[in-house]
Amino acid sequence: MNTQSSPVLKNKVAVVTGGGRGIGAAIARRLAQLGAAVVVSGRSLQTLQQTATSIRSTGGIAEPIACDVSQWQSVRSLAEEAKRKFQHVDILVNNAGIGGFASPLHELEVNSWDEILNTNLRGVFYCIKAFAPLLIAAGRGDIVNISSLAGKNALPNGAAYSASKWGLNGLSYSVAEELRKYKIRVSVVCPGSTNTDLSPHEGKDFSRMLQPEDVAECVALIVTQAERAFTSEILLRPTQKP
């Protein structure tokens, strides 16, 4: 795909949560390469500014806006600010998430459960609630939810994280049916072992792991497909087990 000569997302506006680093930053950069103006969102304005600077340095358009997706008022403010700056939103990538892989469920602190579920699942609900009306007003659009293969398989010592991703998958499938009549595609990407700092990867070969750019390429595929086509789910694995 020649992104330099064919900015297929020109005049599109994308919002990427968790856009300050890792997978979110890679997605934001890729969408900008494809011509979209990108709102990069997350809790740390400093890391968001770094992502935005990297996008602008190559001629892209990026706007960093701090937001905590676990807080409804914060998400609503994000949507209002995105609309004020760009008048419309065409793509929403729900990538913000936190891990939790250190203990069996019965030893997990209640606050840790709340933090994981509120960010990984409730946060996606908030974002869809805030942004779906903007996509409906635009007459079409894409919502891409970044899940995990932990939403498909058992994850010992990560039950809360796994539950949040199983829930995210079910939410995605259901909302997809609700929004199809508005020409809005809701997709879910489920990566396997990815080389980010979300979780520890002791004993794994980093060179065999997925890289954030691999996940970003899946998002690019989804949002650049012909409007008649709808890739509802991608399961992404390393070619060789790390």
Active site residues: 161
Q: H-helix or E-strand containing 7?
A: none
Q: What backbone phi and psi angles, to 5 degrees, belong to 62?
A: -145, 140
**Cα–Cα distance measured from residue 113 to residue 108, given in angstroms and rounded to the nearest whole number:** 7
Alpha carbon of 71 to those of 18, 43, 110, 146, 157: distances in Å?
14, 11, 18, 19, 26
- Other Cβ atoms less than 10 A from the Cβ of 178: the count is 12
Sheet holding 184-191, edge to edge: 61-66, 37-42, 13-17, 91-94, 141-146, 184-191, 233-236
**Cα–Cα distance measured from residue 135 to residue 131, given in angstroms and rounded to the nearest whole number:** 7
The one-character DSSP state at 197 is S
